[in-house]
């Protein structure tokens, strides 16, 4: 008999879990996302939390989250004053999350909340679990961009993670250690999280997860801010992060 999700959580050395969900104009998906995530939270035990970071949405996203939060105190809404992007909003959510384990996922439901259960066995032997979208349900163009970006990150930062810009499951102790050090302001946040986690000697593992087509709303894709800032963040951080990992002071 397969272990229950709550048993997997305890085996991973955690008693509580927070779901961190950045959301920008996701009114078409947000209700179902919250309902599915709450159901997964209940399967893990009573001590769960959903932190939705509304990234200055122009639609009904925040109002819908607020309606859920009125009836369920374990749902927390934070609204950014301006649009920061998915991964910088992820950091905002990390600063709010209270769970022993924190699972980051986007609000578009291409990665479902039950993916956290797929990650828990790996967390039992690690401090950060990076997910790999084994059968990615995106078009050729987006898969190509992601593949090129991941190859560049692996080479530049000396990491072997296959899908560095996907969801992660991380221990709060790691977040508390690395969060003040994160410099990136773009999608490069995800790569810097991995690099700084490794730099401090924490264990990093990978887990394959399911990936689904977007069924509601509009794909945000690569925006102009990321096209400009990701390469700059990568170049600025390359020597510094590699220096930290080798025990040499960067600068």
- Mean residue pLDDT across the chain: 86
Measured CA to CA in angstroms, residue 238 lies from 3, 56, 186 at distances of 41, 31, 15
What local confidence, expressed as pLDDT, does residue 114 receive?
Answer: 97
Residue spans of the domains in the chain: they are: 5-245
What local confidence, expressed as pLDDT, does residue 159 receive?
Answer: 75
pLDDT digits (tens, 9 = 90+) for 77-128: 999 999 999 999 999 999 999 999 999 999 999 999 999 999 999 999 999 9
**What distance in Å separates the CA atoms of residue 228 and residue 210, rounded to the nearest whole number?**
30
What are phi and psi for residue 22, nearest 5 degrees? -70, 145
E-assigned strands of the chain? 17-23, 48-54, 75-79, 101-104, 128-133, 168-171, 204-209
**In the chain, how long is the greatest CA-to-CA distance?**
52
DSSP 89-109: HHHHHHHH--SSEEEE--TTS
pLDDT digits (tens, 9 = 90+) for 229-241: 556 666 665 565 5
Residue 49 has pLDDT above 70, yes or no: yes
Name the pTM for this structure: 0.86
Residue 179 has pLDDT above 80, yes or no: yes
pLDDT band at 250 (very low <50, low <70, confident <90, very high): very low
Residue 14 has pLDDT above 90, yes or no: yes
**What distance in Å separates the CA atoms of residue 234 and residue 149, rounded to the nearest whole number?**
11
Interacting residues of 176 by C-beta distance below 8 A, sequence separation 6+: none
Q: Please give the CATH superfamily to which domain 5-245 belongs.
A: Spore Coat Polysaccharide Biosynthesis Protein SpsA; Chain A (3.90.550.10)
Beta bridge partners of 75: 50
Q: Is 183 helix (H, G, I), strand (E, B) or coil?
A: coil
């Amino acid at each position: 008999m397969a272990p229950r999700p709550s048993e997997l959580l305890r085996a991973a050395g955690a008693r509580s879990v927070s779901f961190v969900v950045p959301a920008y104009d996701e009114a078409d998906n947000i209700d179902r996302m919250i309902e599915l995530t709450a159901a997964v939270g209940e399967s893990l035990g009573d001590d769960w939390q959903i932190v939705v970071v509304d990234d200055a949405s122009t639609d009904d996203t925040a109002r819908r989250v607020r309606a859920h939060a009125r009836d369920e105190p374990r749902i927390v809404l934070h609204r950014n004053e301006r649009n920061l992007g998915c991964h910088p909003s992820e950091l905002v959510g990390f600063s709010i999350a209270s769970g022993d384990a924190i699972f980051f996922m986007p609000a578009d439901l291409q990665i479902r909340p039950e993916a956290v259960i797929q990650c828990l066995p790996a967390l039992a032997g690690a401090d950060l679990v990076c997910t790999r979208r084994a059968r990615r349900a995106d078009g050729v163009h987006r898969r190509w961009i992601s593949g090129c970006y991941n190859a560049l990150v692996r080479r530049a930062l000396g990491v072997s993670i296959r899908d560095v810009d996907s969801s992660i499951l991380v221990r709060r102790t790691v977040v508390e250690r690395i969060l003040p050090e994160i410099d990136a302001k773009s999608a490069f946040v995800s790569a810097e999280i991995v690099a700084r986690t490794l730099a401090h000697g924490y264990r990093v593992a990978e887990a394959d997860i399911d990936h689904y087509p977007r069924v509601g709303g509009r794909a945000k894709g690569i925006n102009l801010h990321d096209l400009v800032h990701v390469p700059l963040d990568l170049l600025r951080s390359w020597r510094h992060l590699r220096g930290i990992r080798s025990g040499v002071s960067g600068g």
